[in-house]
Amino acid sequence: MNEFAHIELDEKRFADQTLDYILNNQNTCLESSLFIRILDPRIKYGDLNDHIEFLKERLSHLEFFIDYDTVKFKNKMSTCQVLETDNLGRVFDNSRILTPLMLEKENFSKEIFWANPKEQENYHKISQFNSFEDKIVDEKKLYNVLINSPFFNVKGWMLYYQELLDLKFSEFSEKIVSGKMIIKYRPFKGKYFIGIETDYQSCKINFRKGWWEAPEYRLIIFEKVDTKKITRMVIFEKFVHPHFSPPGFSFLWFLGSKTMYDVNEIEIVMDNGTRKEFLSDGTVRLYNTNKFEDDYKRHAYYYYDMLHQTTKEYIKFIEESFDSEE
């Protein structure tokens, strides 16, 4: 148990609330989230009400840390590993063989999710942008540029992320823009507000390196000084449910699942979809096949929905832990 001014976070109570949430949401589109950290994809669990003690143990490894005004967490829950022995007697981690099983779980959850016509409608409204952009480069600089492929449409993805946040976290209806920092917020308790804070700059940098990642969000509780100035009371380092971190496959992991292929038991090849067209003027057109463009956009949409569903429970716990009278 930790204390900081207005907040006291009880890991045991949070584990109990998370257990209830899991039991109430089994056999829904949330279920694939359970197999990222909590459940083993090789096991058919059936009714999770028959595995209460197992789930309690899995949820018992979380600890919150409060340093001045910042809340961090560490979850020591062990992840599923597949340890094998090679022909020389050496032990190696072969957990990548779990990937097809985890994808199977996620694809089933996505089938449930996309069966909702409203989600399909909303997706098509905001996803009409090109995921990648072409580049024309001097042939002499080809491989210096190619190292940063694939070439994402950074502006398009940044706008998409912001639209997803607006859509899925519509209850955070107010916005403060201060420099590169954007805070979407709503009333919290008394004079306090709660907000989702992000600086998209690090995400833009990663995109330009060819890495597909979600922005880094923080949850903050604050007081307003004026329309653009605030005083942060509590900063939650990561805006994610500590037991569902991440709530879906990370974007970089999902990209890898689409672009990496097993040649044999020890060899992997990667094809990220970037192609070269040598032009007559000594330049090269670099472009992407867009084979998985819809998959990437849909995964991001699904991920934000799972982030919203799980963090609602986290915010509820925070709200119950916050005493605005102190």
pLDDT tens digits, 186-227:
999 888 999 999 988 888 898 989 888 889 999 999 998 887
For residue 31, what are the contacts with CB-CB under 8 A and spacing of at least 6? 25, 105, 108, 109
pLDDT value of position 324: 58
Backbone φ, ψ for residue 192 (5° rounding): -95, 155
The 3-state DSSP composition of the chain as helix, strand, coil percent (nearest 5) reads: 40, 25, 35
For residue 191, what are the contacts with CB-CB under 8 A and spacing of at least 6? 223, 324
CA distance 163 to 128: 12
CA distance 296 to 298: 5
Q: Residues of the chain with pLDDT > 90: what percent? A: 67
Determine the length of the chain: 326
CA angle (214 as vertex; 210, 217 as ends), nearest 5: 140
pLDDT value of position 1: 38
pLDDT value of position 2: 42
Question: Is 123 in a helix, a strand, or coil?
Answer: helix
pLDDT band (50, 70, 90) for residue 265: low
pLDDT value of position 266: 63
Q: Which two tokens stand for residue 113?
A: 């999710």
Q: Which two tokens stand for residue 276?
A: 């070269």
Whether the Cβ atoms of residue 83 and residue 46 lie closer than 8 Å to each other: no
Which residues sit opposite 218 in a β-bridge? Answer: 197
pLDDT band (50, 70, 90) for residue 5: low
For residue 51, what are the contacts with CB-CB under 8 A and spacing of at least 6? 45
Computed over every residue of the chain, the mean pLDDT equals: 90
Residue 2: Cβ within 10 Å count:
15
Residue 93: Cβ within 10 Å count:
9
pLDDT of residue 179 exceeding 80, the answer is: no
pLDDT of residue 154 exceeding 70, the answer is: yes
pLDDT of residue 120 exceeding 50, the answer is: yes
Give which of 242, 299, 238 is closest to 21, Cα–Cα: 242
CA distance 94 to 256: 16
Supply the DSSP symbol for 231. Answer: E
pLDDT value of position 107: 93
pLDDT value of position 3: 43
